[in-house]
Structure formats: structure tokens, C-alpha cells
Structure 1
Amino acid sequence: MAQPSLSQHVLSLERELGVKLLERSPRGVSLTASGEVLLSHAQRITDALEVAVEAVRQSGSEPMGEVTFGLPSSVSMVLSVPLAETVRLELPKVRLRAIEAMSGFIQTWLEDQSIDLGLLYDISSVRHLHHTKLMTEELCFFSAPDAWPFDTPPGTEVRLADLAEIDLILPSQHHGLRTMIDRFTRSSGVALTVGTEMDALSQIKIMVSRGSAFTILAPAAAQDFLERGELVMAPIIEPKMVRPIYLVRNPAKPVTKASRELERTTMLVIRDLVDRGIWRADDAVLDAATGA
């Protein structure tokens, strides 16, 4: 719209409402308090219209559109490829945008509605968001096969207290995995020695496979190295270290048919990975989530 025409519309609106909407000065134009109120309402109306348009589009028989999904790194390593392949085959009009990130970022994106879905380990600060518990997975100790640090056969279960005696490489405290590990060690009165912090799980696995350090990971995050025999895994006991995994969405963000179908497909893909032993998990929880 041309500037003179826009100005006339604003003046006409001001006369109709009986208030000034814009403060005009030699330095430019700014909103008055009344203008701010009108803008806020106008934005809500525009947002509602966009939701209505999307709802009409989604009312057809086939799901379509983009769905953004935040995945923690250790989950992305085992889930992202089979999920993307399944979506391409079964939901051809749905465009999956999978974003690998640390849990803290995923939580923020869920809060500000930047993503449709996210997987989180810790929901203590986001219980107001809609969440479904999918499973509980065990955290294990990892070493290079020829660098096993204990006087036991490689792969023998390890007490948490024994890990205080060795040099570990772990993600930083901004990482969901580290948060979970620190919570277990604090409650058990164990002080770990973390010689190196690295937020790239792929690099952590390489360092451990070279015998340079040891680490604690979920088995799914190291499946590739385990299959190649480059790492050996041992259960941690006294206590056993486990973490839940939740599928989370913000109820304030409109739910599309595409996002509902992706949620359902995610559960089915995880169910398949668990059944095939690729993802070691407490599948009783997942049974309830999938209706199996």
C-alpha cells in the first residue's frame, strides 16, 4: 500500500476510535499506548487466522506440511535416520525437519513454540507442557576393549563408586546426559573425575575407542562402535543408572494432523528399534504409549 494511502487509513482509524494511534515527530513515527493495544489485538487476530487456514488445509484426508522435531544427540544417533526413512515412505506429504541439539535448547524451543515436538530426559521444569513417557533406558560404562581399567573381565558390571578412580570424558553440564549423571553421583555421594568435557558425542566415542579416556553413555548412542567391536560396554550398579525419555509438545502451539501423525510414527519406530534390540530400553513403558 502506498504511504499516502496508508496514512489516510491510519487517520481514518484514529477518528473512528477517538484515540491517537501514532506519535508523529520530526524523528519519525512511534506507537502510542493505544496503538500498542491495537497492535497486540491485531497480531492475535492474524495468528488466529493463520491457525484457521492451517486447520482447513489439514482437514483433508492426508497429513501434509512441515513438522519440526528436536532430538538430543544420543537419541538422534539411533532414531533420526529410521524415523526420516519411515516418514518419507508412509507420510510423503509431511516434511520432517529434525534438529539435533542439547536438551536445554530443545526445552527452550518447546517453550517458545519454535518446534512442534521434542524428546527430553528431564521434564521437572516443563511439567506444564504435554508429555508422554516413552521408555526408560540404562546408562552404561564404556571403554576400549584393550584399555579396560579394572581387574575384572572387560564388560563386567561396574559399581558407580569404582568410577571415581578413573579419568572420564563427559559432555558439559549444559548437556542433558551430564545433568542426569551428576544427579546420580550427587545422590550416591560419588565424586567423578572428569578430565575432559566435550559436547560432541561422536568425538567422545572416538577418544574412548583409542583408549584415551572412559565415558558413560546410553547404549543406543554407541551402537555403531559396539557393532564394530571398537568399544566394550558394562552395566553400572549400586546404583543402576537409568533415565526416562519423554515425547513433549507445547499445548499452546496448534496441533496439526501432520504433527499428530509424526508423534504416532515416532512411537512405532522406537517400538521397532526396541524389538530388534537396537535400542535397549524398558519397553513396558513404550507398550503403554503405543497401545501395543
Structure 2
Amino acid sequence: MELRQLKYFVGVAEAGSFTKAAAQLNVAQSALSLHVRQMEEGFGTQLLVRERTGVKLTSAGAKLLHHSRIILDQVSLAEQELTSKVKSPSGEVTIGIPSGAARVIGTELLTWAKERLPRVSLKIVEGMSGPIEEWMAAGRFNLAILYKTAESVGDTLVLAREEFCLVVPPNEPPYEDTIRLADLHAYPLAVPMRVNNVRRSVADVVAHHGCALNVRFEMDSLSTIISMVMDGKAYSILTPSAIQREVSLGQVRIVRIVDPVIIRSVVLAVNPKDERSFEVAAVRSLVPEVVKHLAESRKWPTIISEVEQVSGGAVAFKSA
């Protein structure tokens, strides 16, 4: 059986005539007659009794009509559900976001998701970059924003690139706008633990250039690190996005690290098992839009200013 044959059979049975059914279905009467005859041959039994005034169902035909209506109704429901799922995705999506990025994108992403994807329940899990990366690898999230070095972005979607800076307590040296990498050793630092991606990114560059850091405090708490800098107890190395609120209030200052500049990529990763999920795909498409908006409105201070094409054919927004 084909669904088309069932549809034609139901049309003829309900119309009570091949002529009427042909007009209603916009199909040639001869084609309808051929399909019904093929069904009768396939089942080995007569389904309709042809009379001068129309057609009547046999007992076998009545049973087939009952089943055909159920089958066609189920197909219609499936089509409606799948079409609706594509046009208006629904379900729960969990995204892991490192604390620094969450301070910038968290509220905006939730607001956009509520407006654009009202049937999607978006849940944000915030944490330090190390645990977020581990939890994503363990499959705990549908999506995750991760920090990567330029050499390790792979097939992920690059959302932005950020530059690390020395975070300085108010009214403390250095008073210049930049500081050389080799001069960082003069400042006591509060930094994330060694497993943290931020710490690894900086440490790799420092080691490569034969420099040293004066690490006094290690903790996996962005708020504590920022508080220590605000209180004048330590300096830190972070990206501007992580402390832009405190900078705008004059609670800390940022000094660019140069010779060389330390840059990281902010990427969006998807759990492989969710590649075909409509709701995950919808949020996955929304995140770059939000990042682009934040960058253009200067709410996310990044260093790239054009659209970037990355491997796998994905398009990533670069923002100034």
C-alpha cells in the first residue's frame, strides 16, 4: 500500500462515487479507478461494489476505510508536529558558560531566547572554564561556550577573540596603558587554578617566551579574584569582558599586555548527540547573533571586526 492509494480510496468511499471523488481530489477518474483496482488485487478481495449511481463498500472495504482514516490521521499529526517543531522549536536546552562570558552574555541570551524561542526552556549553567569544559566533554550540556587557543579551535564556531590584560587595583602601578609580558613578574597575581583554561592559555605563552609570573593566590572563583584586586590585595590577568563592570565603576583598571599580546578564542561547541535537535539548533543559531549584537553595541569588548568562516562551513561573527 501507498499513502496516496489510501487517500484515494478514502476519497472515493466518502464521496460514494468515482466521479465526485475525482473532482474533489483533482485527480483523473481513470487514475482513481486504477489505484482502487490495484489495491483490490493486492489484498485479493473486493473493496467497492460499482453501481450505476455510485459505489458501496464491501465488508472488507469498510474495514479498510476504518484503518485508512486512522493511518492518514496519524500521518497528518506527524507532519503537523514535525513542521511545528521546525518553525517553532520546543523543549529544554542547557548551555554551559564560563563565569567571565556569563557576565556579558547571560542576561542578553536569556532575553533573546524568551522573545525568539518562547517554547524553548533555556537553562544556563555558569562556572569556571575548566569545569565547564570537563562537564561538556562528559555530555552534561547540549551547548557550551568554551575558551580555546587559536591553534585548537577545530570545527567549533568562533564567536569572538579576546585579549588578556593585567587587572590593576585602583591608584596602583603600572600607570601606563600597556605592559610588556616580561615585566609581569613584578606584580603579585591572583589567578584561576592550573586546570583552568584561562590559566593554561596565559601560562603557555609565558613559558614559551621564557618569562615568569608571580602567582600568590590560586582559586576557581572569578568573583573572589576580582574582589581581591578591588581591595588592593593582588593583581590578576583576565579579559576585559570579565571585569568591564568594575572598570566602568573605577573599581579596577586594565593594562594591555604586549610583546606579545595574549589572545584566546571564544567558541561555541555542541554536544554531538544533539546535532539534529531542532531546539538545540535554534539556540545554537541564536548565540552568534547575541554575541554580534553585544560586540557592535560595545557591551562585549572583543578584538575582531568582521565575519569569519571556520572549518565545517560555519559562519562566526568577528567583532571590534
TM range (shorter): 0.7 to 0.9
| Match in the other structure for 1:139 | 164
Instruction: State the one-letter code of the partner of 1:180.
Output: S
Instruction: State the one-letter code of the partner of 1:166.
Output: Y
Identity between Structure 1 and Structure 2 (%):
29
Q: 1:180 offset after TM fit, Å? A: 0.8
Give distance in 2, aligned partners of 1:60 and 1:120: 27
Task: From 188, 195, 204, give the equivalent of 1:174.
Answer: 195
Whether 1:220 aligns to 2:246 is no
| Match in the other structure for 2:268 | 247
Q: Structure 1 197/112 Cα, relative in aligned 2: closer, same or farther at 3 Å?
A: closer
| Match in the other structure for 2:226 | 205
Kept in 1, the 8 Å contact 2:99–2:222? The answer is: yes
Q: 1:285 offset after TM fit, Å? A: 5.5
Kept in 2, the 8 Å contact 1:170–1:198? The answer is: yes
Q: 1:109 offset after TM fit, Å? A: 2.9
Higher relative contact order (CA 8 A, sep 6+): 1
Q: Which runs of 5+ in 2 are unaligned?
A: 1-77, 310-314
Q: 1:76 offset after TM fit, Å? A: 0.8
SS of the counterpart of 2:124?
Answer: strand
Q: Structure 1 166/291 Cα, relative in aligned 2: closer, same or farther at 3 Å?
A: closer
After superposition, what is the alpha-carbon deviation per residue over 1:207-226, rounded to whole angstroms, capped at 9, x for unaligned? 11121111110100001101
Task: From 291, 299, 313, give the equivalent of 1:270.
Answer: 291
Kept in 2, the 8 Å contact 1:171–1:199? The answer is: yes
Kept in 2, the 8 Å contact 1:144–1:208? The answer is: yes
Whether 1:233 aligns to 2:233 is no
- Please give the residue correspondences for 1:1-292 in structure 2 after superposition, counting only pairs within 5 Å: 56=82, 59-122=85-148, 127=154, 130-148=155-173, 150=174, 154-284=175-305, 286=307, 288=309, 289-290=315-316
Root mean square deviation of aligned Cα? 2.4
Instruction: State the one-letter code of the partner of 1:174.
Output: V
Kept in 2, the 8 Å contact 1:155–1:232? The answer is: no
Runs of 4+ in 1 over 4 A off after TM superposition: 55-58, 123-127, 285-288
Q: Say which one has the larger Rg.
A: 2
Kept in 1, the 8 Å contact 2:166–2:255? The answer is: yes
Q: 1:125 offset after TM fit, Å? A: 7.7
Q: 1:205 offset after TM fit, Å? A: 1.1
Q: 1:89 offset after TM fit, Å? A: 1.7
Kept in 2, the 8 Å contact 1:274–1:283? The answer is: no
Instruction: State the one-letter code of the partner of 1:204.
Output: I
SS of the counterpart of 2:256?
Answer: strand
Q: Which runs of 5+ in 1 are unaligned?
A: 1-51
